[in-house]
Structure 1
């Protein structure tokens, strides 16, 4: 059995943009992944609302992804693949897309140098460029935290390319979630049910080619 870890923010946790509650397991993209890949794959969900790649909110320190990543991967080891989709929430700090991507690269040695893979192997790492924010983000209750909507839109447009660059520089796999799914019209930030379904199926195709 292959162990696949999905590490991300509210779009991995499965926030419903309409109700702000959590989609059922079979609706969330990791759940779609599990259905698509079958019983030979163990899909591990590690999504958290508000999780950042590296930044830390003073009132929510547990949301800093890099701080939790090592105990997370070691607790779920051995891992055959780690999927990381993070960075959107870092925009709330005014961080630059390139800066966020460069910090995302810090995850890679943590995964590679701490015996998190199966014996004798390092886990495959799939970096996924997160959702592209749209003008509908103006309707989101989270917009005040992020600030200017147009700035967030522009940052999310270019961030994906920097994630691709980091993946290529470090020998990781890469996928752009925007090629499969867009943000919902409800809040311009989170995937709706169709988005989760499309993303789960797209990532399943990548995994099939690797295993």
Structure 2
């Protein structure tokens, strides 16, 4: 049984940044997808790409940051997948995109529909999908200007994404209920938050796999 985590820098394990351009990463065992994998004793493929958006080409960082461009190939390369967990939306909160929480949730929903239309699950069926509202950002530290207005935008994602998950028949989890970003940069999680999220996600995924 294999689970795919499709996310951004917080799934990649990027450490809170003291300066722009930092690439430090939490050890593999400390990243939330790996904490979850150990708790579940299942194979988890972590596809966390720093800067990844839901469905938007980034005019500064590049079109390859667009999750919609990457997802179909990733589904094919890792199939069969029992479950696909999508935790995106943080980078959509950047000031350069000017999106609302509803817009961001709709972008995540488009990705969910790609999974649901695929043959990446067992027996050529579609995998199950879980949509995770990312941990809300704070406008602090070196990323404060980049994420100007992001505090409000990010907090609007969870309620909109809950509705989108219900509409599409996907499982839902709100990461902001259990974890917080580090105020050093206002976007990334420290090791303790990564571990807390990984264990909480393990419990949530266990329920999904039981059909609850």
Q: Same fold (TM over 0.5)?
A: yes
Which of 115, 123, 127 is equivalent to 1:123?
127
Report how far residue 32 of structure 1 moved.
0.2
Give the superposed CA RMSD: 1.4
- Which residue is equivalent to 1:16? 15
Structure 2 CA distance for aligned equivalents of residues 24 and 171 of structure 1: 34
Report how far residue 144 of structure 1 moved.
3.0
- Which residue is equivalent to 1:88? 90
* Alignment gaps of 5+ in structure 1: none
TM-score after normalising by structure 2? 0.90
Larger mean CA deviation between 120-129 and 192-201 belongs to 120-129
1:184 aligns with 2:182: yes
1:107 aligns with 2:111: yes
Structure 1 CA distance for aligned equivalents of residues 208 and 175 of structure 2: 18
Question: Where does 1:18-167 land on structure 2 (aligned, <5 Å)?
Answer: 18=17, 20=22, 21-38=24-41, 41-59=42-60, 60-92=62-94, 93-119=97-123, 121-134=125-138, 137-139=139-141, 141-146=142-147, 148=148, 151-167=149-165
Larger mean CA deviation between 105-114 and 84-93 belongs to 105-114
- 1:70-116 deviations in whole A, cap 9, x for unaligned? 11111111100000010111122111211121122111221122201
Report how far residue 186 of structure 1 moved.
1.8
Report how far residue 120 of structure 1 moved.
5.6
- 1:111-155 deviations in whole A, cap 9, x for unaligned? 122201101642111100001112xx321x233333x2xx21111
Structure 2 CA distance for aligned equivalents of residues 118 and 79 of structure 1: 6
- Which residue is equivalent to 1:207? 205
Structure 1 CA distance for aligned equivalents of residues 40 and 190 of structure 2: 21
- Which residue is equivalent to 2:192? 194
- 1:42-67 deviations in whole A, cap 9, x for unaligned? 10010011000011113411111011
Number of equivalent positions: 202
1:7 aligns with 2:6: yes
Report if the CA contact (8 A) 2:36-2:199 is conserved.
Answer: yes
Structure 1 CA distance for aligned equivalents of residues 194 and 124 of structure 2: 34
